[in-house]
Structure 1
Amino acid sequence: MTADQLAGVPVLLEDVADRWRQLRAAGPMSYEESRGLWQVLDHEAVSSVLADPATYSSDLGSLAPTQEDFETFTQGNFVGMDPPEHRRLRALVSQAFTPRVVQGLAPRIEAICARLLDAVADHDRFDLVDALAYPLPIIVIAELLGVPADEHRLFQEWASILFSGDQLGETADMADLERALEAIAPTIREMNDYVLEHIRRRRAHPGDDLTSRLIAAEVDGVHLEDQQIVGFVALLLVAGHVTTTALLGNAVVTFDRNPGADATLRSDPDLLPRAIEEVLRWLPPFPELGRRVTRPVVLGGQELAADSMLMVHLGTANRDPARFDAPDVLDVTRRRNPHLTFGHGIHFCFGAPLARLEAQIALRMLQERFTSLTVPSYEDVTYQNPAVIIGVRRLPVDVVRP
């Protein structure tokens, strides 16, 4: 598309970023009356909250609506836990999900990418999400867990329902959340039953897969319980699947909207890791994280009472001029990039290394296969609900081969 054509096309991802910039102008803190919570907006305040789990708890169970199937499913999800339980569970999982395990996946990720792109080898236009961004991380995770190949589609169907956000408005209130939990409960129940049965089969017949390693993991004589392993599988669906899908789609849109970035990367492919970090800074898939204040505290010049609800805003922190040079400029060569997209402190995203690896391999292969990859019309692009995740749901692209 020409520059004039681009100027007249609304792009939801850019609209969201504009709102973040407006929020940022409010200062380090802003009270949101409609949701009854404080928005934490600058890099320093967000970092301090994420680094202090004793004062700012990740356990929001007392503030969220309850749903029996969901509560069962989240027993092993240490994202919503505080120390010492968080430390114990993460230590157990770390034994099985090591950096060596992740790096060892590189050849398989390359093979999966090649097979998925081979499937559209005779297409000059295809949906990038459907062809690559969605199935790639699902297949990787399913194989990692030892799930049979003919059942991989189940994971994709479950994730689509869990993270569609179809029951939520752009700013979800408690009633929206209750409706959403009720709507996804049957899917949670089905997934819970399936994964529990898979764990039982692996207990009886261990294999060379992550599920078997999770079963064997031990700290001070303590093993993970079956239900806790189910919870970690749920975490992998978020950290290892949805984030990668969003990152790949966001990268393609970002490079398309900034043609100079694409040209720079094609002339120097070694810049790709930096470019991925810049896309993560520019469009964090999950731009908000909830925290509960455990004791009276002063933050950003505001006195907060115990049990106050905070929403730390990664999107605004990532564009803080006090922390980033030219924060509203996309710079794929950026060297100093302390973005908070994967969090900070003890809850730094467990799936970050896998998401980065998948993105590097997939984007490199797209550059190698196609001399040009463009979005022909943003009117045909559909987006995820930004209240749930920042990303695209459908992304038709035109490609030119060498």
Structure 2
Amino acid sequence: MAAETFAQMPSLADGGAETLAWMRRMRDEQPLWVDAANMHHVFRYADVQAVMSDPARFSSNIGRILPGHDPEQISANLPWLDPPDHRRLRQLVSQAFAPKTVVGLRPRITEIAAGLLAAVPDGEFDFVERVAYPLPVIVVAELLGLPPADRAFFRDCADRLLGVGDAGSAEAGSAAIAEANRELREYLTAEAGRQRGSRSDGLIAALTAAELDGQRLSDVQVATIAGLLLTAGHITTTMVLGNALLCLRDNPEAEARTRADRSLVPAALEEVVRQRPPFPRVVRVSTQDVAIAGGVIPAQRLVVASTLSANHDERQFPDPERFDIDRHPNRHIGFGHGIHFCLGAPLARAETQIMLDLLFDEFAELRVVGEPVHNESEYFGTRKMTVFARRS
């Protein structure tokens, strides 16, 4: 195999076809790959799982080798924390997405989802704009206890973070995301200050009253956690909903079976997350020299573990390119693995199951029109997706 085959990872802009073919070659021929930026990539399921399972050798605190980050923000940035700090903060935050909490949210999720579907017309519309991101952004805004008057701003920030709309060039898109992050951080910091000491039953007020290591969280720390919940509770669901329609488009027999037997919806969505995980990779930092994937990763290197590749690894999943709603067991790592398993997974599962069930109830026909506009790297999913819907 020529060296240039491994020179650069393909973009996900085509929906992942080129990337998946490239990753298949990498799993077979170069399971440990060093890119031009000296980042070390692993692709096989066992190696990806090992990286995600071992915080002692693969630290989540990438800020340790990427300078310029605010220590106060890092102290509350759950994805960047290692034990024991990670455990203490996750216990504090996990109440928002605990299974018991999510069960209590199901009636409200159903009400929001039904309202969104009632507002869309028969004919063509953008599924992402009208359905896939409004549902979770409304849910997470209510969960945080944000004032209804501010939810339009909150949604606008979410739009820009997801790249919804036309940003123009890649540089303009990056600038828009950075600006949205700044505005959202400033807003949430101010909101934490406003809600401190209030009787609001939202999560922001609860976090301002909580203690970590005997001390109250600062407004900046509360804002950092709230920003994380936007990602965990919003982007995950948006990606999975769009990906579900793509998987069913490509597998009409599975769609027909799932429409006819709604008990298959949960298994179908797990297979969606296996084939098209919302976050295609995780990044860690090696804390020591580590032998893995037939090579050695030196200490203090950025390590990229491809969940997308792992979920398509023939060593773990028989016939991995086949969309199989009967796949059992389905030990995918599309929601992560280990101590950093996706905080928003229970909420994302509930929202996507409820919405898919309602979509089948509402529309006799629902099909993707043309090719969606796909995210290119950070998230694996669509930014725009035109669908045709017919109620009867």
Mapped to 2, the partners of 1:330 and 1:137 lie a distance apart of: 25
Does the Cα contact within 8 Å between 2:32 and 2:42 map onto a contact in 1?
Answer: yes
Residue aligned with 2:125, SS: strand
Q: Per-residue deviation at 1:14?
A: 3.3
Aligned to 2:346: 353
Mapped to 2, the partners of 1:168 and 1:92 lie a distance apart of: 40
2:385 is aligned with 1:395:
yes
Q: Per-residue deviation at 1:95?
A: 4.3
Does the Cα contact within 8 Å between 2:146 and 2:202 map onto a contact in 1?
Answer: no
Residue among 207, 213, 220 paired with 1:214: 207
Aligned structure 1 segments of 4 or more residues deviating by more than 4 angstroms: 71-75, 165-169, 179-185
Aligned to 2:7: none
Aligned to 1:77: 77
2:20 is aligned with 1:29:
no
Q: How do residues 93-242 of structure 1 correspond to structure 2 at under 5 angstroms?
A: 93-120=93-120, 122-164=121-163, 184-218=177-211, 221-242=214-235
Q: 1:66 to 1:153 in 2, by over 3 A?
A: same
Residue among 319, 327, 335 paired with 2:328: 335
Q: 1:74 to 1:154 in 2, by over 3 A?
A: farther
Structure 2 counterpart of 1:58, one-letter code:
S
Mapped to 1, the partners of 2:225 and 2:190 lie a distance apart of: 15
Mapped to 2, the partners of 1:227 and 1:284 lie a distance apart of: 30
Structure 2 counterpart of 1:22, one-letter code:
R
Cα shift readout 1:58-109 (whole Å, capped 9, x = no counterpart): 11114336366xx765542210111222122112223454322222110111
Q: 1:144 to 1:250 in 2, by over 3 A?
A: same
Normalising by the residue count of structure 1, what TM-score does the alignment of the two structures yield? 0.87
Aligned to 2:374: 383
Residue aligned with 1:206, SS: coil
Mapped to 2, the partners of 1:180 and 1:349 lie a distance apart of: 26
Q: Per-residue deviation at 1:362?
A: 0.6
Q: Per-residue deviation at 1:141?
A: 0.4
Mapped to 1, the partners of 2:129 and 2:94 lie a distance apart of: 31
Q: Per-residue deviation at 1:162?
A: 2.7
Aligned to 1:6: none
Judge which range, 197-206 or 39-48, deviates more. 197-206
Q: How do residues 53-92 of structure 1 correspond to structure 2 at under 5 angstroms?
A: 53-64=55-66, 66=68, 73-92=73-92
Aligned to 1:301: 294
Normalising by the residue count of structure 2, what TM-score does the alignment of the two structures yield? 0.89
Structure 1 counterpart of 2:45, one-letter code:
H
Does the Cα contact within 8 Å between 2:89 and 2:212 map onto a contact in 1?
Answer: no
Cα shift readout 1:260-315 (whole Å, capped 9, x = no counterpart): 11111112110110111101010112111111110112112212211122110101
Judge which range, 38-47 or 81-90, deviates more. 81-90
Mapped to 1, the partners of 2:59 and 2:169 lie a distance apart of: 25
Cα shift readout 1:327-384 (whole Å, capped 9, x = no counterpart): 1111122121111111111111111111111100011110111121111222xx2122
Does the Cα contact within 8 Å between 2:95 and 2:101 map onto a contact in 1?
Answer: no
Residue aligned with 1:125, SS: strand
Q: Per-residue deviation at 1:210?
A: 1.5
Residue aligned with 1:374, SS: strand
Does the Cα contact within 8 Å between 2:78 and 2:90 map onto a contact in 1?
Answer: yes
Mapped to 2, the partners of 1:364 and 1:290 lie a distance apart of: 34
Aligned to 2:43: 41
User: Structure 2 regions of 5+ residues with no counterpart?
Assistant: 1-12
Does the Cα contact within 8 Å between 2:98 and 2:346 map onto a contact in 1?
Answer: no
Q: 1:260 to 1:18 in 2, by over 3 A?
A: farther
Judge which range, 360-369 or 54-63, deviates more. 54-63
Residue aligned with 1:319, SS: coil
Cα shift readout 1:195-221 (whole Å, capped 9, x = no counterpart): 122222222322222222222334563
Mapped to 2, the partners of 1:11 and 1:256 lie a distance apart of: 16
Count of residues in Structure 1 that have an aligned counterpart in Structure 2: 378
Judge which range, 298-307 or 361-370, deviates more. 298-307
Mapped to 1, the partners of 2:230 and 2:109 lie a distance apart of: 17
Aligned to 2:238: 245
Mapped to 2, the partners of 1:362 and 1:152 lie a distance apart of: 21
Structure 1 counterpart of 2:155, one-letter code:
Q
Mapped to 1, the partners of 2:383 and 2:199 lie a distance apart of: 37
Residue aligned with 2:33, SS: strand
Aligned to 2:6: none
Aligned to 1:173: none
Aligned to 2:54: 52
Mapped to 2, the partners of 1:161 and 1:72 lie a distance apart of: 25
Q: 1:97 to 1:218 in 2, by over 3 A?
A: farther
Does the Cα contact within 8 Å between 1:74 and 1:234 map onto a contact in 2?
Answer: no
